Amino acid sequence: AWPSTLLIQPRDFHFPSKSLQTMLSICSTGEKRIKLDFNGLHHHMQLDVETSEVFFELRRLGIEKIDLEYSSDYGNAIMMCKFLRPKHINLSSSVHAICDFLFESLDVCTESLNLSNIKLTPDNTRFTSLGGLSSLTKLRCLNLSGLDLVNDKNLALFQHLPDLTDMDLSNCRNITSYQHLNPNLRKLNLSRCGNVDDPVGLGNLTKLEYLDMCYCDGINLEEYGTRTIAHMTRLRVLNLDSNSRIM
C-alpha cells in the first residue's frame, strides 16, 4: 500500500524515468500528498526531456511541500518554486539559495514559508528585500527566525496579509518595536528578541493563543504586562522563561 505522502528525493531522478513515472501514476490514482525532499542539494539539476515530463506530471498532481534546507543553488529554488507551485516551502539554512527574484517566482497560493537561518554573506547581493513576500496573500505560516534582514520596516510588509496566523521571529535582533505585527496572528515566537524596551504593540494581538518571549531581557514585562498580555483573552500558552526582569 502506498503511503498518503509520496516522498521524492534527488536520487529518484537517477532511476530510469519510467520507474518514477510509474510511482506518479500509482500516486495519481488516489488522494496523495507529494513532498519533494532536496535537502542539501548543491548542484543545479539539468533536466532532460523525460525528467521534464515527470515535472509536468508533478505539477499536474500538485506539490504539497518542497524541502530545500541547506541547499546552495538558488537556480534550483527558483525553478522548483516557480514551476511546481508548492503550498509549503522550506529554505531554512540555505546558502545563496534565495534572491529577490525567488520571491517574485513564488505562487500566490503559497501557504507556509520557512526562511529561518538563511546564510547571508557579504557577497550575497542577490537577496536585499523581503518586499516580494507581501504579495503572498494566502500565506498562513512564516518563519524568519535568525534572519538579520528582519527589522521594524519589514514587519510592516506582513501586517495586512489576511491569512497569516503563525510567525516565528525568534533571534531577529534588529526588531525594536512590535507596533507593526499582523493583528491576525494566533501563534508568535519572539524568543531572544531582547532589543524592544516597550512591548505595548503586543496589546493589538488580541487573537494570540501562543506567545513565546523567553530570553527577552530587554523587555520590562513587569511594568508593561497589564498593557499587553491582559488584552490577550485567547492566550493559552505563554513562555516567559529566562527573563531576568521578571520578578
pLDDT (tens digit per residue) in 134-161: 888 889 999 999 888 888 888 998 999 9
Cβ atoms of residues 139 and 161 within 8 Å: yes
Share of the chain above pLDDT 70, in %: 61
Does the pLDDT at position 123 exceed 50? no
Span 70-85, pLDDT tens digits: 777 666 666 777 777 8
Is the Cβ–Cβ distance between 236 and 208 less than 8 Å?
no
Please state the rounded mean pLDDT for residues 2-21.
58
Which residues, in sequence order, are CB contacts of 80 under 8 Å at separation 6+? 36, 38, 66, 68, 86
The mean pLDDT of 161-180, rounded to a whole number, is 91
Per-residue confidence (pLDDT) for residue 50, from 0 to 100: 59
Residue 30 has pLDDT above 90, yes or no: no
- Would you state the pLDDT for residue 211? 93
Residues 143, 170: Cα–Cα separation, whole Å:
9
DSSP code at position 43: S
For the CA atoms of 190, 192, 193, 199, the dihedral, rounded to the nearest 10 degrees, stands at 60
Res 121 pLDDT > 50: no
112-114 sheet: strands from edge to edge: 5-8, 33-37, 63-67, 88-90, 112-114, 141-143, 166-168, 187-189, 210-212, 237-239
- The answer to whether 193 and 167 have CB atoms below 8 angstroms apart is no
Residue 207 has pLDDT above 90, yes or no: yes
Q: What is the pLDDT of residue 141?
A: 93
Range with the lowest mean pLDDT among 88-97, 99-108, 109-118, 199-208? 99-108
Single-letter amino acid code for the residue at 106 = L
Q: In this structure, what DSSP letter does residue 240 have?
A: -
pTM score > 0.75 for this model?
Answer: yes
The string of pLDDT tens digits covering residues 36-75 is 776 666 555 555 555 667 777 777 777 788 887 877 766 6
Q: Is the pLDDT of residue 14 over 50?
A: yes
Mean pLDDT of 229-235: 85
- Whether 86 and 65 have beta carbons less than 8 Å apart is answered as yes
Half-sphere exposure (Cβ direction) of 175: Cα atoms closer than 13 Å: 31
If one compares 119 and 219, the residue with the highest pLDDT of the two is 219
* Residue 16 confidence (pLDDT): 53
- Quick one: average pLDDT of 110-118? 80
Rounded CA-CA distance 83/77 in Å is 10
Percent of all residues in the chain with a pLDDT value above 90, rounded to a whole number: 17
pLDDT of residue 171: 92
In the chain, which ranges are continuous DSSP H helix? 17-27, 49-61, 74-84, 100-105, 152-155, 221-228
**What pLDDT score was predicted for residue 1?**
39
Least confident of 99-103, 107-111, 162-166: 99-103
Comparing 170 with 201, which gets the higher pLDDT? 170
